[in-house]
Structure 1
Amino acid sequence: MADRELTVLFMPESAYGPTNNCIGIGDVLRRRGHRVVFAAEASWKGRLAPLGFEEALVDLAPPPEEGGAEQDAGQFWKDYIAEISPQFRKTTSEQLETVVKPIYEELISGVRYAEPQLRRIIAEVRPDVVVEDNVVLFPALATADAPFVRMLSCNPLEMPGPDVPPPFSGLATGERRAATAFHAEFERTHGAMWADFNAYVQEQGAPALPHMRFMPEGDLNLYLYPEVADYTDRRPLGDGWHRLDSSVRRTGGPAELPDHIAKGEGSLIYFSLGSLGSADVDLMRRVIDVLGGTSHRYIVSKGPRHDEIELPPNMWGEEFLSQTEILPLVDLVITHGGNNTVTESFHFGKPMIVLPLFWDQYDNAQRVQELGFGLRMDAYGFRPDELRAGVESLLGNVGLRRHLDEIGAAIREREGVVRAADLIQSAAR
């Protein structure tokens, strides 16, 4: 039990990864006797209270007209990704204009719309500490009369350094000329938007943002990435930063699988393009068609358009799966490379094939490959034989799988959610 009850206000981005990260940490704090409040996006209504949290939800855009259907959690981003998914076929440099910039624009629009709501929530909740897990600053959180904790649950390249690749680039470490060109393109495509947002942030009473960055450092800064894959040898951290090797919330134990998947022949493989990437049904079908001809068994996270996806006999899946219950059971993970799935795969010691689509997924894919923990493949350009050969090579690499088992055991011992809760608790006091 806590020696003094604290009020902790979390505001995660509306995607599942950041929200689940905050849920895991918030659960530790709640069990210690603290009051945990979520200022999550309004589509999460009714999904956080059953977990023991208070809901003080915000709209990031005008609510739907009266009589409209209630949205599922994170539905806005699912619809948005489905709309722009044709852009995922472009290079990372081209995506700066057609994917990354529009996402920042939508996020900033949400900040402006939510600012008055957040100020009212802060006045009513009176938090002892506020935690934001997002890629853009909500000024109301940084100007509250409480310590401000920045949570970074994307790839840590968002913490810049002279000897690391630029975020969103998917470049290998050491590609200095390409990195310089990518930095220049980012400033060209995002410079005016950053300047406008920086002015807005200061108008709301918050300090100026660092140059070309949409989030400042907080009083406490936490980031989510396993030490074994981090960039600290090239970009040492400042004193205010603390790494969480993983952030995996408690679950009810291993998942229950159908008999033909649990007891069949071949290895067991998990395939997920995340709640956003799985909205690209054509890509989902192509991967499923290629894997359906192998001798292995598959668990498939079918995503929001699950009713449009048919699975062959060697596969089983549902719209949503409890990933942390699935991962301990499998031998290999095929993923889009979202930070949540990548860090959880390390947490459970699993090799990966990464099919990146957008944002930091390219950075995670490159890091996994260049360190030898898996393979990076072109999500839209892979050859069927290339994917099948990649599956067999990783399953057959006994040394790698043993090494990842040891890495996973070490990560689990560090209990990232407990460390995060300790640090947040200390910041509040």
Structure 2
Amino acid sequence: MTVELSPEFFASAFVGHLAEAGAQDLLEVARSWQPDLILHESTEYGGYLAAECLGIPHGALDIAPMAPYAHPVVTEELNRQRGKLGLAPVSDAWHTFRAFRAGVVPEDFYPTDSRLPSARYYQVPAQSAQGALDPDIAQLSTDRPLVLATLGSNATRLPGGAQTLLETIVETLGELPVTGVVALGADSDPRQWDGARPDNVHLTSFVQQELLLRSSDLFITHAGFNGTREALAAGVPMVAVPLFAEQSHNAGRLQQLGVGTRIDVQDVTRNSLAEAARNVLEDRSYRSRAQGLQRRSHALPDLNRLVEDAAALVA
């Protein structure tokens, strides 16, 4: 079933346990290294705490826009950690990001109440390390919509794996008038796949996702942020099946924006998944709104601009 990220867990694990250990390690290094700035990932609070202790500028690269940063229980844990380091409490729930937050999706993706004056937004350059597209995928039929499905690199490592869900996805695509590409996971050899093998579905262990999204009509995804960002940059609507972490929040936001629809794992059947896929493919408004976000993504400055903007904090 879909595991929701609760504010209590986020506070305890990320703002508490991980941040406390990370801050101590960073302080040990930073006192001798004496950096001018600490730029940390948005869910990594150790960098923020270390910078506050040292009295130096700090900012965040936002890799999880929908995490519950502003929840009161998160602020409470943040102040508990600040107290351990001799720092005064803060009342601003967005204090961690107030000086500088670097987003890698358009501002539209953020709910209104989490859009900060300090935020800057950038487009991530296309990855050149992926290489050329798999020739077998390049030669697939072009007379039907292309649907890419993947549950990410971590799905197969979950307790119980994602075998049943992948089987449902493969079987569903086999029943639809589409050409499907299903990435089973880097550790899964498609030659050893013992599930259905429909003629219109290509099975692979790995796919050059960013490249293939450019020519896809639909993305069936677990709604991890990186894949979500890549699909939005390609203007591709989604059917989101969140598994864990903040994926459920991402999926909910996609639905709010009208660029996708959400089905929780426990609600996935061949019928429900087929209905969702048909709806997104046939209702062109999903594609139009996704392409609107794509245009706004392309209007953002390149990620290299982040260096200049971060340097301004020091100046």
- TM-score, length-normalised on structure 1? 0.60
SS at match of 2:35: coil
For 2:306 and 2:60, how far apart are their aligned partners in 1? 11
Letter in 1 for 2:81: Y
Matches within 5 A, 1:169-180: none
Question: How far apart are 1:419 and its partner, in Å?
Answer: 4.0
Structure 2 equivalent of residue 131 of structure 1: 39
Change (3 A) 1:347 1:121: same
User: What do residues 340-361 of structure 1 show as CA deviations (whole Å, max 9, x unaligned)?
Assistant: 2222211111111111223432
What RMSD, in angstroms, separates the aligned Cα atoms of the two structures?
A: 3.4
Change (3 A) 1:292 1:154: same
Give 1:23-422 correspondences, 5 Å limit.
Answer: 88-89=1-2, 92=4, 96=6, 101-102=8-9, 104-107=11-14, 108-138=16-46, 139-144=49-54, 146-156=56-66, 158=68, 160=70, 195=76, 198-210=79-91, 216-232=96-112, 235=113, 237-239=115-117, 241-244=118-121, 246-252=123-129, 255-259=132-136, 262-265=139-142, 266-279=144-157, 280-281=161-162, 282-303=164-185, 305-307=187-189, 310=193, 312=197, 314-319=201-206, 321-398=207-284, 400-422=286-308
Structure 2: which amino acid aligns with 1:137?
Y
Report how far residue 145 of structure 1 moved: 5.1
Distance, in Å, in 2 between the alignment partners of 1:405 and 1:243 is 21
Residue by residue over 1:405-426, the C-alpha shift from the partner in whole angstroms, topping out at 9 and shown as x without a partner, is: 3531331131351443332132
2 CA distance for matches of 1:89 and 1:403? 26
Measured in 2, the distance between the counterparts of 1:142 and 1:262 equals: 55
For the residues of structure 2 that align with 1:390 and 1:260, how far apart are their CA atoms?
Answer: 24
Distance 1:245 1:219 in 2: 17
Mapped to 2, the partners of 1:112 and 1:354 lie a distance apart of: 34
Question: What does residue 423 of structure 1 align with?
Answer: 309
- Matched residue pairs, number? 302
Change in Cα spacing, 1:200 to 1:253, as seen in structure 2 (3 Å) is closer
User: In the TM superposition, what is the alpha-carbon distance from 1:284 to its structure 2 partner?
Assistant: 2.8
Q: State the Cα deviation string for residues 314-373 of structure 1 (Å, max 9, x = none).
A: 223225x44333322322111112222222211111111111223432222222223321
CA contact (8 A) 1:156 1:224 kept: no
How far off is 1:133 after superposition?
0.8
User: CA 1:350 to 1:255, structure 2 compared with 1: closer, same or farther past 3 Å?
Assistant: farther
Write out per-residue CA displacement over residues 381-411 of structure 1, whole angstroms, 9 at most, x where no aligned residue: 1231221232233223345434533531331
SS of residue in 1 equivalent to 2:267: coil
Residues 147 and 427 of structure 1 are in contact (CA less than 8 Å); yes or no, is this contact kept in structure 2?
yes
Change (3 A) 1:143 1:371: same
- Partner Cα distance (2:69, 2:133) in 1: 39
Task: Give, in angstroms, the shift of residue 253 of structure 1.
Answer: 7.2
Mapped contact 1:347–1:412 kept (Cα < 8 A): yes
User: Higher mean Cα deviation, 104-113 or 335-344?
Assistant: 104-113
Equivalent residue letter for 2:18:
G
1:181 alignment partner in structure 2: none
Any conservation in 2 of the 1:209–1:216 contact (CA below 8 Å)? no
Over 3 Å counting, the alpha-carbon distance change for 1:415 and 1:380 in structure 2 is farther
- Structure-2-length-normalised TM-score: 0.78
- Residue segments in structure 2 that go unaligned for 5+ positions in a row: none
> Do the aligned residues in 1 keep the contact of 2:2 with 2:264 (CA within 8 Å)?
no
Residues 115, 327 of structure 1: alpha-carbon distance in 2 compared, 3 angstrom cutoff:
same
- Partner residue of 1:180? none
**3-state DSSP class of the match of 1:216?**
helix
Letter of the structure 1 residue corresponding to residue 154 of structure 2: L
% identity of equivalent residues: 18
Report the AA paired with residue 179 of structure 2: R
**CA deviation after TM superposition for structure 1 residue 156, in Å:** 4.5
Post-superposition offset of 1:103: 5.5
